[in-house]
Amino acid sequence: MTPTRQATGKRIMATKKATKHTTPRPRLTVDITPSLKRRIKVAAAAQDVPVSAYIARVLEQAVPAADTVTTASDGTISQEMIRRAAALRAEQKAPFPEDSADLIRESREQRNAQL
């Protein structure tokens, strides 16, 4: 083995040993389509980061922290939910002029006509 190859092999072993002694991180397995995998790899490469770091960053941005998520497992409606609904209703100002079912039906008919 050449001296350069030996040095490279020692660096790899040192990296593996350092990784083993750090706090273990949980793994997550997700089934995705081949095209999505390619898109993720391209996006990570464009930002010059490993795929795992890219995915971790995307998930950190997309998934709220545990302390910000409120759940009511018993199905009750909290005061916060009522307050948010009232705020949304106030933003709307007026009810929709048409029935939503009619709007959906009309959109489907337009889409079918285009196909």
- Find the domain containing 55 and state its range: 30-64
Res. 103: pLDDT tops 80: yes
Contact 81, 71 (CB under 8 A): no
Contact 80, 70 (CB under 8 A): yes
Over residues 6-64, the pLDDT tens digits come to 555 555 555 555 455 567 788 889 999 999 999 999 999 999 999 999 999 999 888 87
Over residues 48-71, the pLDDT tens digits come to 999 999 999 999 888 877 655 555
Q: Has residue 106 been placed in a domain?
A: no
Q: Has residue 50 been placed in a domain?
A: yes
- The C-alpha atoms of residue 44 and residue 53 are separated, in whole angstroms, by 8
Q: Has residue 57 been placed in a domain?
A: yes
Q: How many domains does the chain have?
A: 1
Higher pLDDT: 113 or 25? It is: 113
Global pTM value: 0.41
Phi/psi at 24 (5° precision): -70, 140
Q: Has residue 73 been placed in a domain?
A: no
Contact 44, 53 (CB under 8 A): yes
Res. 86: pLDDT tops 70: yes
Q: Has residue 93 been placed in a domain?
A: no
Q: What tokens appear for 89 in the block? A: 């209703």
Q: Has residue 113 been placed in a domain?
A: no
